Amino acid sequence: MSDYCVGIDIGGTTVKCGLFKVNGELEEKWEVPTRKIDAGKFILSDVAHELKKHMEARYLSNKDLRGIGMGVPGPVEPDGHVSVCVNLGWKDVWPAKEMEELMGGDVVCKVGNDANVAALGEMWVGGGVGHNSIVAVTLGTGVGGGIIIDGKIVSGAHGLGGEIGHMHVRDDEPNFCNCGGKGCVEQAASATGILNEAKRVLASTDEPSAMREYGDELSCRLVCDCAKAGDKLALRALETSLDYLGQGLALVAHVVDPEVFVIGGGVSKAGTYLINLIKVYFHKYTPMFKNRPDIVLATLGNDAGIYGAARLVLE
């Protein structure tokens, strides 16, 4: 009986691995360092090597696995091809095929973009449980997105489905984004973006603010804490950022109209306070919606990737 599945979340620093029951129970998880030397050619063999050891310790063979799913930090083409993955040093890699070979050829492997895969995890056993059309948004150093419609990941014809962090929302942004654009959601509403907005607000006025006490130590978390505590300038900065985020979510809602938005990433630690603020701006930009997609917090944290990767092979 194939009662198990494996989820692998390949990051630029570590590879997170999880062994799951097919009902979504996490049995065990471990990490493998990401060896990026030589165009990342050891990454998958390192992972396969460790996986085999963990399986042996439990007397599991490939037959016990429904499959191995993987999330990759970059665009994955519909046929599973990864033409470039900057964070891993990969060029022209077929990760699923390679992993199948490394595991001996008799186990199914699937691959997806990490943000899309994390969305699948949140839908399986996280904040999106009970829904089958969700948009997961990760507010971290950047802004990632994963879109699932009718239970299926929308990876896009060129692997760029769900790249909502790079939607243009802000005309007066003077700096370029990593993507080459200007005024992306990511520039406005990532942790970095919120911090930058706070710095701009502080520089624009002499008004007092608790944020000034932190000097160079000021962080997105502290901006959120100050806003929560009623600091006027912190709130002004956060509201500006979340207006752009709300606009971004509204844009997405006019395209795929999901049942729910699931908000994760470091910024989401600000909790319900943040969600309620996002809703204000989301409503502002969705006047034609009589019923709106809900906005909720993600619940799987950094494990969303391994959950979703494991879920990939259960489709």
State the residues that interact with its own copies by CB under 8 A: 83, 133, 145, 147, 149-150, 152, 154-164, 166-168, 171, 179-181, 247, 250-259, 285, 287-293
**Closest CB 70 distance from its own copies, rounded Å:** 20
Q: What DSSP string describes 181-234? A: -BSBHHHHHSHHHHHHHHHHHHHT-----GGGGGGGG--HHHHHHHHHTT-HHH
Residue with smaller CB distance to its own copies, 16 or 166: 166
Q: How far is CA 305 from CA 8, 25, 59, 69, 112, in A?
A: 7, 14, 25, 10, 10
Helices 220-228 and 232-256, axial angle in degrees (round to 10): 110
Q: Determine how β-strand 14-21 pairs with β-strand 4-10.
A: antiparallel
Residue with smaller CB distance to its own copies, 150 or 206: 150
Give the span between the Cα atoms of 179 and 74, in whole angstroms.
Answer: 13
**Closest CB 131 distance from its own copies, rounded Å:** 8
Residue with smaller CB distance to its own copies, 55 or 242: 242
Give the span between the Cα atoms of 277 and 297, in whole angstroms.
Answer: 13
**Closest CB 83 distance from its own copies, rounded Å:** 8
**Closest CB 261 distance from its own copies, rounded Å:** 11
Phi first, then psi: give them for residue 145, nearest 5 degrees: -145, 150
**Closest CB 291 distance from its own copies, rounded Å:** 5
**Largest Cα–Cα separation, the chain:** 68
Rounded to the nearest angstrom, the gap between the alpha carbon of residue 213 and the centroid of all alpha carbons in its chain is 32
Token pair belonging to 307: 């959950």
**294-297: strand order across its sheet:** 152-153, 143-149, 134-139, 260-264, 294-297
Residue with smaller CB distance to its own copies, 133 or 190: 133
**Closest CB 158 distance from its own copies, rounded Å:** 5
Residue with smaller CB distance to its own copies, 93 or 227: 93
Residue with smaller CB distance to its own copies, 192 or 209: 192
| DSSP count for the chain of H helices, then E strands | 10, 12
Taking a C-beta distance cutoff of 8 angstroms, is the pair 169, 251 a contact?
yes
Residue with smaller CB distance to its own copies, 48 or 252: 252
**Torsion region of 102: left, alpha or beta (phi above 0 gives left; psi -120 to 50 gives alpha):** alpha
Residue with smaller CB distance to its own copies, 146 or 305: 146
Taking a C-beta distance cutoff of 8 angstroms, is the pair 7, 293 a contact?
no
